[in-house]
Each structure stands twice: as C-alpha cells, then as structure tokens.
A and B are shown apart, each in its own frame.
Chain A
Amino acid sequence: MFDWDLSALEESWRFLLGGVGVTLGLSALTVATSLTLGIAVGVLRCYAGAWLRVPLTFYVDSMRAIPVLVVLVWMYFAFPLLTGVSAGPFWAALAALTVHVAAYVAEIVRAGIESVRPGQIRAALALGMSQPQLVMQVVLPQALVRMLPAIGSVVSVTIKDTAIAATIAVPEFMKRAETVAGQSYQPVQVYTAALVVYFLILFPTTRLIDRIHARVAHLGRS
C-alpha cells in the first residue's frame, strides 16, 4: 500500500499556489494576446489584399507545422541572440505561445467568417455599408458567436500549454511542482496534486465557455 505522506504539499503549498498564480497570469495574458492577434490575422486573411494574405497564410501554415515547444525554445534561446532583445523567460513564453495559438485562432476566425450567409452581406451592402462597417457590425459579431465552441477548445489547450513554459524555467505551477517533487522525493503526491489542480482550473473554464455559447448561440444563427 502506498504511503500518502502529504508533508511536501503541506510544507510547499504556498510556493505551489504562487505557481498557480503565474500559470493563471500567463494563461490569461496568452489568451488575450492570441485572441487579439488571431482575430486580426483571420480577418485580414479574409479581406486584405494578396500582398498581405500570402505572408499571413505562410505564417499560419508554418505555425501549424512547428511544435509549440520548438517555438518556445527558439524564442527564449535564439531570438535574444539574433536581435539583442532579451525580456526573460516569462515574456519569451508569452510571445511563443501567442504566435503559436494565434495561428489556430486565425483559422477558426476565417472559418467563422466564411460561415456567415452571403445574404447577410448582401443585406449590409444594400443598406449602403462600407466593407469595414459590414465586417465589424454584421459579419464578425455573428462569426464570433459561432466560433465560441472552437475558441473554447483553443483556450483550454492554451492554458494547458503554458505548462511547457517550465522547460525555460518560467516559475509557473508545473515548474514549481517539478522542483517540489525533486526536493521532497514525493513525486506521486506532488504530480497527483498537479493533475488535480489543472483539472480544477480547466474543467470549469470549458464548462463556462459552453454555457456562454448555449446562451448566445441564437445571436449567430442567420
């Protein structure tokens, strides 16, 4: 019978909780920046001229072809050497996760925009709206509502992916769990706690997004 000695968790819970704070902070920032960048890229891929669409397509395709861990490591180790700009592991993680996740968001946004009925666009044009007006007032609001379930998946993957920031020593939850597990020789207890903590963060998050979608779905039905 395994001895569930919880002394390491009892001793280090403040340290671990601080890591949860870093994880939540990194997650929230990454979600905010990658949604912003992803929506912009998705909209521009639909409406911009070819001179912009082509490089954006290349960006999206390459981000889907490169593991996020590789982007992260490159951003932390290679980017500062190439540019002379070094902002520390937290910001490197934020940048890497953002450019990666935004590519997926952009694809979702593009699919959402393309799913809006042509009749809606004709109706907006017939009122005399300009292209930017019809995108902002008619297409995007409906597309965003329809995208919500897919965005929800991306948000939960993003929160989970912040754990790889541990590899560049961002003091987030996973990194601190590794530290505590290593020092206390109690990996079973600590890593089990890690499972539970991630579940407790993510399960309500995905449920919340589903419930929001259930409430607003009718706004995107045309």
Chain B
Amino acid sequence: MNPVIEYRAVCKNYGSFVALRDVSFSVSKGEVVCLIGPSGSGKSTLLRCTNGLEQISGGAILLDGAPLPQTRAGMRAVRQRMGMVFQNFELFPHRSVFANVMMGPLTVLRMDHAAARARAEALLDKVGLADKAASMPAALSGGQQQRVAIARALAMEPAVMLFDEPTSALDPETIGEVLSVMKRLADEGMTMIVVTHEMTFARRVADRVVVFERGGVLLEQGPPRQIFDAPLMERTRDFLSHLDWSG
C-alpha cells in the first residue's frame, strides 16, 4: 500500500545542535504509529516538520508521494489535510468551545455557518462534550480541553492526525478520557502519528511503534509486541526499563 506520509533521511539542525539525524520511515493509510523515546530525541520536532511548523534541514517528507511544498500557500493546503493536537491543548481562550471547533471550517475552508455548525455539533458529540459547547475553554478540565482540541482538528476533516504528547499535561484522572477518544478515532481508521509516553496506549492501539533515542536517531521500529516484549536493540530495552519504577 502506498504510504500517506514518508520520511526520507530527514535531518533537522538548530545551529550545531542535531535534532533529527537521517530519520526514515513511512506511515500507511489507516495506520496508527506511535513515536516513543526519551525527551530530546526529536519526536516532537519530527511532528512539527511534518506539517511545516518547522523546516527540515535535509532529506524529504512526502505526503501522498509528493514532497511538502515550499510555498506558503502550498504549505497551508498541506496543513489543512493534517490535524494537530498539542501537549498544552492551545484552544483559543477568547472563543467558546463551539467557536473553537468551527474556527477552521469558517476561517480556512470558508464553509457556510450552518454547515460548520452542524459539523461542530457532530464532533463535540463524538468527543462527548456536546453539553459544553457554550462554555469557554478556561471553564473546562484539561481532559475536556484536549477533547475539544481533537474535535477542532477533526473539523478540518484531515487525512492524518498528528498528536504531540496529547496527555503529558493532563491530570492522571483525565488521561483516560482523551486516550479513549483517540482509540475510537484509530478504530474508525484514522491515520495517526502519536508522540506519547503512554506505553499502554502504544501497546494496545498502535499498529507500529517507532523508537527514537537522544540525538534524533531512529533506533528501531516494529509492531508493539516486538518493541515491548522482544526489542531487537539493547537501548530500546534500556529505555523501556527506565519507564518502570522499580524502587
């Protein structure tokens, strides 16, 4: 099957600091790929390069076989096909939940108000927050805000969803509600790239897990069973063993 997104020897430097070094892998349609690894290993940077929030320094990122465009307008068109969910939600604080979800369709897609409204209603219902439509983001819990952020990204009907540590800023008791929404999305066949420290989620939901190590190097990749139960690389085992607190 043709990959939706393909990373070819992607490099990213900030001055002399190397954030990504020759990263190559691809993501097929409907696939859920979890990126794991220690902080500072370039996972979030790769995600930001994917929708052009950062420019790569070398290699190529292909969307449906075509390299990401260099023009602003071209990049905007690409971003409209990729939804992104951030660690800190980044809901627009001056707009209601409803307006946040409608923002993309109204502003970017120039959809008419009734259609945008219908779409937002359906999506808020889907993430279980239909009753919060009129609330302001500040009135919601972290988990609720993140679910709204997912609805906001889905409102653009993206081909791919990018999740950048979506549960890292959440209270433990609200993590589950966000992961459940993401699981449902995966079950519906959404193509997803998820940077996460939630190994249970990666194990249960991912089709493939990609392990990064410090210096922005792709260490190994494979189905979750292989990565978590029988990793090929010693350093993967090291990383995973450090996640468990063994006193």
Complex contact A128–B80 (CB within 8 A):
yes
Interchain CB contact (< 8 A) of A119 among B77, B80, B90, B136 = B90
With CB as the reference atom, state the residue of chain B lying closest to A133: B107
Q: Given the complex, which residues of B lie within 8 Å of A23, measured CB to CB? A: none
Q: Does B92 interact with chain A (Cβ within 8 Å)? A: yes
A and B contact pairs by CB, cutoff 8 A, 9 listed? A119-B88, A126-B153, A128-B79, A128-B104, A130-B72, A131-B72, A219-B93, A219-B94, A219-B136
Name A163-222 residues within 8 Å CB distance of B.
218-222
Q: Does B86 interact with chain A (Cβ within 8 Å)? A: yes
Complex contact B80–A142 (CB within 8 A):
no
Q: Does B134 interact with chain A (Cβ within 8 Å)? A: no
Binding site for B on A (CB under 8 A): 117, 119-120, 122-131, 133, 137-138, 141-142, 145, 218-222
Shortest Cβ distance from B61 into chain A, in angstroms? 15
Shortest Cβ distance from A143 into chain B, in angstroms? 10
Q: Does B51 interact with chain A (Cβ within 8 Å)? A: yes
Complex contact A126–B93 (CB within 8 A):
no
A138 to B76, CA, bound (A): 16
Q: Given the complex, which residues of A lie within 8 Å of B9, measured CB to CB? A: none
Complex contact A123–B79 (CB within 8 A):
no
A123 to B94, CA, bound (A): 14
Q: Which 10 A-B pairs have the closest CB atoms?
A: A128-B80, A123-B90, A126-B84, A219-B94, A128-B79, A127-B104, A128-B108, A222-B93, A141-B94, A119-B90
A222 to B51, CA, bound (A): 22
Q: Does B82 interact with chain A (Cβ within 8 Å)? A: yes
Complex contact A221–B93 (CB within 8 A):
yes
A123 to B51, CA, bound (A): 11
Q: Does B138 interact with chain A (Cβ within 8 Å)? A: yes
Most buried by B among A117, A122, A128: A128
With CB as the reference atom, state the residue of chain B lying closest to A134: B107
Q: Does B32 interact with chain A (Cβ within 8 Å)? A: no
Q: Given the complex, which residues of B lie within 8 Å of A125, measured CB to CB? A: 53, 79
Q: Given the complex, which residues of A lie within 8 Å of B103, measured CB to CB? A: 127, 137
Q: Given the complex, which residues of A lie within 8 Å of B94, measured CB to CB? A: 141-142, 145, 219-220
The proximity string for B residues 56-98 relative to A, scoring 1 for CB distances below 8 Å and 0 otherwise, is 0000000000000000100011011011101010111110000
With CB as the reference atom, state the residue of chain B lying closest to A216: B94
Complex contact A137–B86 (CB within 8 A):
no
Shortest Cβ distance from A146 into chain B, in angstroms? 10
A191 to B153, CA, bound (A): 62
A126 to B107, CA, bound (A): 13
Complex contact A133–B108 (CB within 8 A):
yes
Complex contact B86–A123 (CB within 8 A):
yes
A122 to B156, CA, bound (A): 16
Q: Does B147 interact with chain A (Cβ within 8 Å)? A: no
Complex contact A127–B136 (CB within 8 A):
no
